[in-house]
Amino acid sequence: MSHSFKLENQVAVVTGSSSGVGRAMALEFAAAGAHVLIHAKTNQPGAEEVAASVRRTGRESSVLMADLATEAEQDWFVKEAFDWKGRVDIWVNNAGADVLTGDAQNWSFEQKLEHLWRVDVVSSIRLSRAVGLRMMELGATDGNAVILNVGWDQVEQGMAGDSGEMFAAIKGSIMAFTKSLARSLAPRVRVNCLAPGWIRTAWGETASDYWQERATSESLLRRWGLPEDVAHMARFLASPAASFITGQTVAINGGFRHRE
């Protein structure tokens, strides 16, 4: 692979990386040569497994457990993450609240919205601002430090129903914030946003026939996306190959197709 896609000896932090898309990004960064800090809120066994997988590539890895819904733990997490190697070159705000499964699926609309706001939006904003400042204090120049946020491909067209309304508002906020932060940190830190479509994580593997059909029919490529599809784009945006890309939201959805 071209040298411009390498992340040799870079230090990457991926929040929410004990499973799913976050796990795939952590392993992709390691394969490109980065040392990776793994984060989880409660799934320590999963986080330790990912860290072990990173180490098997010959890269260094460690695990930090933190509840990013609270400001105190957000601040603690940033400090500990930078202390691990003395710097961070790549930061991915991937952690997000799950309100579709478990006890949370029975919460009211208002409870779900409040939880998503704190975990997804406030956390991404506060972490990004703190991380960007530290990156610049440590000498980031010419966009060689990178922050990636995670949005949603259907923000632009919308989706009917409670979940659609919530996630459009939440992820739309993150996508809008990304554009402004990119301006604030330019030209020293690049900031971009990943906007996945239907990605087959644990929920997708057990989804009903309705959702299986919908996921495949809303992609021009007629298939579910995989966590690795998102990870490949994250690697590209974090690499020197994307050195002239900032303030952008990139959809990873196989080409959105309106259902007929």
Q: Integer distance in angstroms from the first to the last C-alpha of the chain?
A: 40
234/94 Cα distance (integer angstroms): 11
Closest CA to 189 of 225, 136, 148: 136
CATH topology assigned to domain 3-252? Rossmann fold (3.40.50)
Q: Where are the beta strands (DSSP E) in the chain?
A: 11-14, 35-40, 61-65, 90-93, 145-150, 189-196, 249-252
Joined tokens for residue 107: 């919460």
Q: Which amino acid is at 176?
A: A
pLDDT 10s digits, 206-252: 778 887 778 787 888 888 889 999 999 999 999 999 999 999 999 99
User: Which of the pair, 259 or 158, is modelled with greater confidence?
Assistant: 158
Contact 151, 175 (CB under 8 A): yes
Is residue 202 very low, low, confident or very high in pLDDT (cuts 50, 70, 90)?
low
CB within 8 A of 234, min separation 6: which ones?
25, 28, 29, 92, 148, 194
Q: Is the pLDDT of residue 180 over 80?
A: yes
pLDDT for residue 203 is more than 80? no
Question: For residue range 111-147, what is the model confidence (pLDDT) as tens digits?
Answer: 988 999 999 999 999 999 999 999 999 998 888 999 9
The pLDDT value given to residue 149: 98
Q: What's the confidence (pLDDT) of residue 156?
A: 85
DSSP-derived secondary structure for 151-193: --GGGTT--SSHHHHHHHHHHHHHHHHHHHHHHHHTTTEEEEE
Contact 14, 29 (CB under 8 A): yes
238 near 148, Cβ under 8 Å?
Answer: yes
* Structural domain boundaries in the chain: 3-252
